[in-house]
Structure 1
């Protein structure tokens, strides 16, 4: 099994890990004001792209 010849410094280790973070989800706001994920129908009012696609929860 291969072994490293020298200890990896904290700086080099952290630079390698700099892209391993969790991405922040993109949040948009529906016409009713609720935050939703893009390309999904609103859970509060049932609208998607300005059309009513599902029954709203408060019927």
Structure 2
């Protein structure tokens, strides 16, 4: 079984983890009802519609 010979330093550990934290900009699409930008497969925050149906009421 492979066992580390030395303890991984905090600097080396954190350098490796920063690559995972770099994220891409979330995808957006246009809402077919109000034409506002929204995330795909999510309820529109402006009008409250999802898949052509009103899911939540927005004031």
TM-score where L is the length of structure 1: 0.56
SS at match of 1:42: coil
Q: Which segments of structure 1 move beyond 3 Å, counting only runs of 4 or more? A: none
Name 2:47's counterpart in structure 1: 45
Bigger-Rg structure (1/2): 1
Structure 1 unaligned segments of length 5 or more: list them.
2-19
Using the TM superposition, give the Cα deviation of residue 38 of structure 1 relative to its aligned residue in structure 2, in angstroms.
1.1
TM-score where L is the length of structure 2: 0.56
Q: Output the CA distance in 1 between the equivalents of 2:57 and 2:25.
A: 29
Using the TM superposition, give the Cα deviation of residue 39 of structure 1 relative to its aligned residue in structure 2, in angstroms.
1.3
Q: Output the CA distance in 2 between the equivalents of 1:22 and 1:36.
A: 18
Structure 2 unaligned segments of length 5 or more: list them.
1-5, 7-18
Q: RMSD over aligned Cα, in angstroms?
A: 1.9
* 1:7-46 superposed matches below 5 A: 20=19, 21-31=22-32, 32-46=34-48
